[in-house]
């Protein structure tokens, strides 16, 4: 990784260095989180986080995900970075490590939000700069394995949820609060990693490796007192990991989505649709299974699952009221069918991509029909499970351009109450199915 490196002095001058992480000197304007008091209580202290149900925390991290910076604020953050100091040429192993970050970023809805930059500084460090850029020093990229790098980036994602609080504590030089906020970010990372089926212990091994590397070469960091000791972090991480592993998960009620495709929708768009509906329902605590039943072979239904049929149609609704989807119910079997009118959705996608703001925003410029088809299915599944239109989120009656952007950045979600209502409806339906089988 020797080529592509340039002067690092400006980079070092623009950042405070810690034993393990980098932070921006200038705070960026606070991001509105739209969090109610009961939702944020678990994030007030590390002990509250430890006492909370990890399943509820995981859902909270989805539904209360901070909005990304505006294009103007992101440009301002990028403008604070020096023109020199970025590493642009990597070895094969380094490229693989960086590519592995997609899994964590995508799960957190940050794949299209963060810029990833590797910088040429002597310290091993990783940090979230201005809420828009993940900075990874070249020594850290070399030192850490892919799992450790993913875990430390998950920690940095956690900083978004406590960004305003951390800036406030920093201005007051509240070292105790700053330490506790670091533990909260460790806890958030552990919940995220556990949800992805990853080894949560890699967070601490990564922090330990970076701490040892920097201590041996540079001694104590200037702001060491703003961070918990390694022993404190390890103790909290063990307790948090045990809490996540021992949490009594809600009994999953599988929603069987049996799709029949009549519309001209390619395989890639079908995959996008199934991924989108799966992600939206999963964030609401609903386990779903998508099956393509277009071949004419009957799709059997598991005895303990609840079925909803999905028909992707090649026509628009005759009423002409720009309806993208609706729900019907078989009076004999009670099975609900979601009807999706694909041509109208495809037309809306084209309109979004042709708009000036659509062309200039990568998240909107790359939106595909499958993304909005998946969102439309999720909306109608909500109706099928008893939800009404809401003021925001997936159940909003008509999605705007801002909602399309929220979808592409994983911020379009069911509200907490909508998720609870759907899970309750599914449990009731499942109980009826099991009773009928008996």
Name residue 387's beta-bridge partners. Answer: none
Mind listing the pLDDT tens digit for each residue in 266-276? 889 999 999 99
Confidence of residue 286 (pLDDT cuts 50, 70, 90): confident
Share of the chain above pLDDT 70, in %: 84
CB 97 within 8 A of CB 43: no
Q: What value does the mean pLDDT of the chain take?
A: 83
Measuring CA to CA, which residue among 165, 168, 131, 154 is closest to residue 58?
154
CB 318 within 8 A of CB 341: no
pLDDT of residue 328: 94
Q: Compute the distance between CA of residue 302 and CA of residue 280 in angstroms, rounded to an integer.
A: 22
pLDDT of residue 247: 63
Confidence of residue 121 (pLDDT cuts 50, 70, 90): very high
Name residue 327's beta-bridge partners. Answer: 338
3-state secondary structure of 341: strand
When comparing pLDDT for 136 and 23, which is higher?
136
Mind listing the pLDDT tens digit for each residue in 59-86? 788 777 888 888 888 889 998 888 889 9
Please name the helix (run of DSSP H) or strand (run of DSSP E) that holds residue 11, with its range, or none.
helix 9-13
Model-level pTM greater than 0.95?
Answer: no
Measuring CA to CA, which residue among 402, 419, 401 is closest to residue 283?
419
**In the block, which residue shows the tokens 């990564």?**
206
3-state secondary structure of 173: coil
Confidence of residue 28 (pLDDT cuts 50, 70, 90): very low
Confidence of residue 254 (pLDDT cuts 50, 70, 90): confident
Q: Compute the distance between CA of residue 246 and CA of residue 260 in angstroms, rounded to an integer.
A: 39
What's the CA angle centered on 90, arms 86 and 92, to 5 degrees?
A: 160
Task: Tell me the two tokens of residue 206.
Answer: 């990564």
Residue 24: pLDDT over 50: no
Mind listing the pLDDT tens digit for each residue in 372-414? 999 999 999 999 999 999 998 999 999 999 999 999 888 898 9
Kindly give, in sequence order, each residue whose CB lies less than 8 Å from that of residue 178, ignoring residues fewer than 6 positions away. 166, 169, 170, 226, 227
pLDDT of residue 1: 39
When comparing pLDDT for 288 and 383, which is higher?
383
Q: Compute the distance between CA of residue 298 and CA of residue 285 in angstroms, rounded to an integer.
A: 28
Residue 10: pLDDT over 60: no
**In the block, which residue shows the tokens 């997936």?**
394
Phi first, then psi, for residue 52 (nearest 5°) are -75, 155
Distance of alpha carbon 174 from its chain centroid, rounded? Answer: 30
Edge-to-edge order in the sheet of strand 336-341: 287-292, 254-261, 306-313, 336-341, 325-329
**In the block, which residue shows the tokens 């925390």?**
57
Mean pLDDT of 316-345: 86
Mean pLDDT of 300-319: 78
Residue by residue, what is the 3-state secondary structure of 71-138?
Answer: HHHHHHHHHCCCCCCEECCCCHHHHHHHHHHHHHHHHCCCCCCCEEEEECCCCCCEEEECCCEEEEEH
Mind listing the pLDDT tens digit for each residue in 212-253? 999 999 998 888 899 999 999 999 999 999 988 876 444 455
Share of the chain above pLDDT 90, in %: 48
Mind listing the pLDDT tens digit for each residue in 323-332? 899 999 988 8
pLDDT of residue 205: 96
Confidence of residue 109 (pLDDT cuts 50, 70, 90): confident
Name residue 291's beta-bridge partners. Answer: 258
Mean pLDDT of 127-135: 93
CB 311 within 8 A of CB 341: no
3-state secondary structure of 133: strand
Exposed/middle/buried for 73, CB within 10 Å: 0-12, 13-18, 19+? middle
Mean pLDDT of 159-174: 92
Ordered by where they begin, the domains of the chain are 9-246 (no CATH), 254-437 (3.40.390)
Task: Tell me the two tokens of residue 309.
Answer: 């049929």
- What DSSP string runs through 226-253? GS--HHHHHHHHHHHHHHHHH--PPPP-
Q: Compute the distance between CA of residue 255 and CA of residue 395 in angstroms, rounded to an integer.
A: 18
Residue 36: pLDDT over 50: no
Mean pLDDT of 93-112: 90
Neighbours of 119 (CB within 10 A): 28
């Amino acid at each position: 990784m020797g080529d592509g490196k340039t002067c690092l002095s400006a980079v070092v001058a623009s950042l405070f260095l810690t034993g393990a992480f980098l932070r921006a000197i200038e705070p960026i304007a606070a991001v509105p989180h739209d969090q109610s008091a009961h939702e944020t209580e678990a994030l007030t202290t590390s002990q509250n986080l430890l006492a909370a149900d990890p399943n509820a925390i995981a859902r909270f991290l989805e539904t209360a995900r901070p909005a990304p910076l505006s294009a103007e604020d992101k440009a301002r953050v990028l403008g604070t970075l020096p023109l020199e100091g970025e590493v642009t040429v990597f070895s094969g192993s380094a490229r693989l490590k960086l590519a592995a970050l997609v899994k964590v970023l995508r799960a957190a809805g940050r794949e299209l939000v963060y810029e990833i930059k590797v910088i040429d500084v002597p310290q091993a460090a990783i940090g979230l700069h201005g809420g828009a850029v993940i900075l990874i020093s070249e020594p850290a990229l070399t030192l850490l394995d892919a799992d450790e790098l993913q875990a430390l980036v998950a920690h940095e994602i956690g900083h978004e949820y406590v960004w305003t609080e951390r800036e406030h504590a920093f201005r007051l030089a509240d070292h105790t609060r700053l330490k506790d906020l670091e533990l909260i970010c460790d806890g958030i990372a552990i919940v995220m990693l556990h949800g992805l089926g990853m080894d949560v212990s890699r967070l601490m091994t990564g922090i330990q490796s970076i701490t040892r590397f920097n201590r041996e070469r540079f001694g104590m960091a200037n702001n060491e007192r703003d961070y918990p000791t390694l022993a404190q972090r390890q103790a909290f991480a063990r307790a948090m990991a045990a809490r996540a592993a021992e949490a009594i998960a809600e009994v999953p009620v599988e929603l069987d989505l049996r799709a029949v495709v009549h519309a001209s929708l390619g395989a890639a768009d079908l995959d996008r649709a199934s991924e989108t509906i799966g992600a939206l329902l999963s964030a609401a605590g609903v386990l779903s299974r998508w099956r393509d039943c277009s071949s004419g072979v009957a799709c059997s239904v598991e005895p303990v699952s609840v079925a909803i049929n999905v028909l992707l149609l090649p026509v628009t609704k005759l009423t002409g009221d720009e309806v993208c989807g609706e729900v019907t119910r078989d009076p004999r079997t009670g099975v609900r069918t979601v009807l999706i009118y694909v041509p109208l959705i495809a037309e809306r996608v084209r309109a979004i991509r042709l708009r000036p703001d659509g062309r200039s925003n990568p998240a909107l410029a790359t939106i595909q029909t499958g993304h909005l088809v998946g969102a439309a299915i999720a909306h109608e599944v909500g109706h099928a499970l008893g939800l009404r239109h809401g003021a925001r989120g997936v159940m909003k009656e008509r999605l705007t351009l801002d909602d399309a952007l929220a979808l592409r950045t994983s911020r379009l979600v069911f509200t907490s109450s909508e998720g609870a209502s759907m899970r309750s409806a599914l449990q009731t339906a499942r109980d009826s199915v099991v009773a009928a089988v008996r």
